[in-house]
Structure 1
Amino acid sequence: MTTLPTLLLVDDEPHSLAAMRMALEDAFDCLEAPGAEEAWRLMEENDVQAVFCDQRMPGRTGVELLTAMRERWPETVRIIITGYTETSDMIGAINDAGIYQFIAKPWHPDQLLMAARNAARLFQLTRDHERMSIEMRYLARSADSKLDKRRQALREGLGFQSVLRGPSSPLNAVVAAARQYASFDVPVLIQGEAGTGKAAMARAIHYASLRSDRPFFDLDCTGMPDDLLEAQLFGAKRGALPGLVTTKVGLLQKAERGTLFLSGVDSLSPRMQLALLRVATERSFQPLGSHETLTAGMRLLVGSHRDLRALVAEGAFRADLYFALAVTEVALPPLRARPGDIALLAGNLLMEAAAAHGKSVHGFSDEALAFLENYDWPGNLRELSNEVTRMLIFAQGKVLGPELISRHILQAQPAEDGADRSADRVLEGSGTLKDRVELIEMRILRETLTRLRWNKSRAAAELGLSRVGLRAKLDRYGVKPPKGAVVAEED
């Protein structure tokens, strides 16, 4: 059953109350009060949406009553009914009581009913607005809280927690130093071989800094022509370059109050070194085709594949630019110096690749990890990522075994001190022809058997040997399956 809106009718004349009730009682629940005291009591006991009050009453006037009601029940709509139309009374009522509408006597029933319906609608709209305002305030606080949590998760996901390493990794000391540098708004020079994770380290420094809420941009300068590099960094006016029909905003402007990481600064030409020196020391630059000098307000991080100090000594890199960029330095170790991190890195790369390609796997076998840990990874993380992806593509089971590993990695002789690269230099090294050929033969035997999961029948057939001949060579070189290796059934 629908509840009717409640009105309070206040008038000291009984016939006026009766007339108002007759006009409104079909659409509203009407309460009646002959004076201010009774009206106040009814307001305290009921949820009244609108008050129709006569102005001229003994004791307290309608304006005085509605003024008091406005303080106590501000959302209730207030309507004055009066036979007097003095301008001073009307202005006073509007200012003091917040009157919604005047109804002059004598009124028509339809006029009164229309006023009541409008008042009830206004009351409901006011209630809805208040409810929505409360909900919006709550949602705003909730959104701010969620935003703070997402920012924190972003910092953690892209910060130093994303730089994977083991408990005894040589990278731990590097990360500890980088954490210290992150909170100081100074340039950082990140040096390391290609693929060692310089961009990830720069991103981690940014998200651990006071600029973490601002944008992060990175650009690899290696091999980029000067005019294109200038346009990317400084921006360019329309027509400054062939085919440029609109003004281009450079990264120095896009990264305003954020962080810009420039990788490959060791490959910069003398012209670009001078331009970058101005940015690093004067914090200023000019877009291509413009005479306007702009201010760079970003934090500058740079990466180098080669030792910049050595390049300065050779005269290949400006000394003043080096000292401007190398306020603090971070040196990333190559992957061959982090054998204890290989299992963790390979496992994470495998899970990422499996999710990206929709292929379910559980991980690597111990034997496969032994081969991966033994290799020196000249291409560092990029080469490891490529190898893991290739293994995933050819995997038939949930656990990836050594038979999926590339041949040049399998041919690395297992050793406690790391990968044995001697066979790679066998053609240039010393020793008799017999010794050098035997070394290569031993490596080929181990690679073939590992790839074929130590199935000697298949290995002998592939190598063009009899099973007896293969067994003799294995005994001669001491080639045996690693402990725990999965051996396929013989044909």
Structure 2
Amino acid sequence: MAQILIVDDDHQLRQSFERLLAAEGHAVRTASSGEAGIAAVREAVPDAVVMDVRMSGISGLEAYAAMREIEPRLPVIIMTAFGTTEIAIEATKMGAYDYILKPFDIPEILKLLDKAVAAGRSMRSRVAVGVEGEDAAAADAIIGRSPSMQELYKAIGRAAPTDATVLVRGESGTGKELVARAVYQHSLRADKPFLVINCVAIPETLLESELFGYEKGAFTGATGRKVGKIEQANRGTVFLDEIGDMPMSIQAKLLRLLQEQNVERLGGRQVIPVDVRIIAATNRDLEEAVRQGQFREDLYYRLKVVTMTLPPLRERPGDIPLLVRYFLSRYAREMGQADPGATDGAMAMLTAASWPGNVRELGNTLKKALIFSRGGPLSPDEVTKALGVPLRSTASPDGDGGESMADCIRRELASGREGLFEELMDRFGHLVIRQALEATGGNRSQAARLLGLSRPTLIAKIEKYGLRIEAQARIEG
């Protein structure tokens, strides 16, 4: 549930919004003027604001400027008629989250609101770094005492106060966005916008216009000017997630941004100066992508001014009990339950697992276990049921107990966990490469030829899946 403020002098529109958003489970407040909207924000900052441009009294633009003084990270969606789009565009250039034309499509405004709420919360929700206990359980947190995590904390502390570009590396589910948010929140730009762009989630045909904006007539359907996210985040921070999958054509424009601190909208000739800090993240082997011509080498070096690497969970098993206690405490609090803790057997089972989905998989498993727990400390049986298939330990990567691959996939699909595709690809990728190494007696060159991979790609995957020790053991044996 989100707290939404509607600011419009049209009584009927406010009522319609109240009914619509209440039906979606949101708490709604309304204000009939820009002045009343400012007072409402000053009284209690909402998760998002939807505000008209033209109202009696001060305009929506003036009201937004005042709201920004109260809370610079408040996402505001501007409503406008076609004739006042230039004012809405000006508000977007000032940092408003987006604008929408009247009359608007209901699914469109609901989707935009969901994104705005998520963006606002990611800016304002603190990320606890290296903190444990009650303080950590009350917030998003980066947890761990291992040497690799201690080095990560030092890197965040050193890089955050600078304007250096940061590249966050790590497997899927290790917590790269949390690191990006921690860098932002400890930076000198922490009171400015923080915008997240997933380079995979947005289709290639839309990603360029999303990042850099466009002018009227730039392409079919471009009926007006659109300010891009880079320009919108001026003086703030942009987090480019999954940058390793960014198309080459857009990489060139990003390189220009990093070199010259300016952008051009699609279909435009005006060079627009911008002041943004870029934090990027990837789970890809960028060095291999450069060698294969899939990623620009000059951009790679521009991005890795500061590199922070998140270790996979299997490389820091000593941190798993800390994470288990954190997730159980946090989710129990969210569900209004007492923290049940975990039995020694359950904790041993959780610590022994390889967790191909890393911290995300561990958290999702514990949340599901809490939902279906019987009230006492989590048992090994409850953990196994929450995962959906028997836990695969680091000592026995297959862990299929004779179950067919199709049965395993069907069982996993029934679990409904987030990030399931990446998790299954990791799990079966681990199995395929392990079998190839066994078939070749641990010879990596032969295994690479068998799989149709280059040797560097195979080595990267061996390191990703933690197979190096197992392959070496077979060579020596």
TM-score, normalization by structure 1: 0.51
Q: Distance in 2 between matches of 1:308 and 1:339?
A: 26
Structure 1 residues 317-370: Cα deviation after superposition (integer angstroms, max 9, x where no partner): 111111111111111101111211112222222333333333443222221111
Structure 1 residues 191-244: Cα deviation after superposition (integer angstroms, max 9, x where no partner): 111111111101111111211222212111125322311122112335545555
Does 2:251 align with 1:273?
yes
2:396 aligned residue (420, 424, 437) = 420
Q: Distance in 2 between matches of 1:336 and 1:280?
A: 35
Structure 1 residues 284-334: Cα deviation after superposition (integer angstroms, max 9, x where no partner): 111223322211211111111112122212222111111111111111101
1:157 aligned residue (117, 123, 126) = 126
1:315–1:357 CA distance, 2 compared to 1 (3 A): same
How do 1:264-303 residues align onto structure 2 when only pairs under 5 Å count? 264-303=242-281
AA at the equivalent of 1:351: S
Q: Secondary structure of the equivalent of 2:369?
A: helix
Structure 1 residues 65-99: Cα deviation after superposition (integer angstroms, max 9, x where no partner): xxxxxxxxxxxxxxxxxxxxxxxxxxxxxxxxxxx
AA at the equivalent of 1:209: S
Does 2:246 align with 1:259?
no
Q: Distance in 2 between matches of 1:351 and 1:236?
A: 46
AA at the equivalent of 1:296: V
- The aligned residue for residue 317 of structure 1 is 295
AA at the equivalent of 1:263: D
| Shift, 1:249, TM fit | 2.6
Aligned identity (percent) is 36
**Pairwise CA RMSD of aligned residues?**
3.1
2:182 aligned residue (204, 208, 232) = 204
Q: Distance in 2 between matches of 1:357 and 1:240?
A: 49
Q: Distance in 1 between matches of 2:294 and 2:379?
A: 47
Contact 1:262 1:301 in 2 (8 A): yes
AA at the equivalent of 1:160: V
- The aligned residue for residue 308 of structure 1 is 286
Q: Distance in 1 between matches of 2:379 and 2:147?
A: 25
Q: Distance in 1 between matches of 2:361 and 2:352?
A: 14
Q: Secondary structure of the equivalent of 2:142?
A: coil
Of 259-268 and 302-311, the range deviating more from structure 2 = 302-311
1:332–1:258 CA distance, 2 compared to 1 (3 A): same
1:397–1:315 CA distance, 2 compared to 1 (3 A): same
Q: Secondary structure of the equivalent of 2:331?
A: helix
2:351 aligned residue (349, 373, 386) = 373
Q: Distance in 2 between matches of 1:159 and 1:344?
A: 14
How do 1:6-405 residues align onto structure 2 when only pairs under 5 Å count? 157-158=126-127, 160-161=129-130, 163-238=141-216, 240=218, 247-405=225-383
Q: Distance in 1 between matches of 2:392 and 2:242?
A: 34
Q: Distance in 2 between matches of 1:237 and 1:355?
A: 48
Q: Secondary structure of the equivalent of 2:202?
A: coil
AA at the equivalent of 1:267: D
Q: Distance in 2 between matches of 1:383 and 1:245?
A: 43
AA at the equivalent of 2:127: L
- The aligned residue for residue 13 of structure 2 is none
Contact 2:129 2:143 in 1 (8 A): no
| Shift, 1:269, TM fit | 1.3
Q: Secondary structure of the equivalent of 1:399?
A: coil
Contact 1:256 1:297 in 2 (8 A): yes
Contact 2:146 2:316 in 1 (8 A): no
Q: Distance in 1 between matches of 2:297 and 2:308?
A: 18
Contact 1:169 1:341 in 2 (8 A): no
Q: Secondary structure of the equivalent of 1:279?
A: helix
| Shift, 1:394, TM fit | 0.9
AA at the equivalent of 1:237: E
Q: Distance in 1 between matches of 2:241 and 2:310?
A: 14
Q: Distance in 2 between matches of 1:396 and 1:238?
A: 59
Q: Secondary structure of the equivalent of 1:189?
A: strand
Q: Distance in 2 between matches of 1:188 and 1:170?
A: 18
Contact 2:392 2:399 in 1 (8 A): no
Contact 2:142 2:178 in 1 (8 A): no
| Shift, 1:169, TM fit | 4.6
1:281–1:159 CA distance, 2 compared to 1 (3 A): farther
Contact 1:283 1:295 in 2 (8 A): yes
1:231–1:352 CA distance, 2 compared to 1 (3 A): farther
TM-score, normalization by structure 2: 0.53
Q: Distance in 1 between matches of 2:355 and 2:154?
A: 25
1:165–1:361 CA distance, 2 compared to 1 (3 A): closer
Q: Distance in 2 between matches of 1:410 and 1:268?
A: 34
Contact 1:164 1:345 in 2 (8 A): no
Q: Secondary structure of the equivalent of 1:364?
A: coil
Q: Distance in 2 between matches of 1:219 and 1:394?
A: 35
Structure 1 residues 106-129: Cα deviation after superposition (integer angstroms, max 9, x where no partner): xxxxxxxxxxxxxxxxxxxxxxxx
Contact 2:384 2:391 in 1 (8 A): no
Contact 1:188 1:328 in 2 (8 A): yes
AA at the equivalent of 1:253: E
Runs of 5+ unmatched residues, structure 1? 1-145, 148-153, 432-491
- Kindly tell me the number of residue pairs found equivalent between the two proteins: 278
Q: Distance in 1 between matches of 2:352 and 2:206?
A: 42
Q: Distance in 2 between matches of 1:422 and 1:428?
A: 10
1:346–1:235 CA distance, 2 compared to 1 (3 A): farther
1:254–1:422 CA distance, 2 compared to 1 (3 A): same
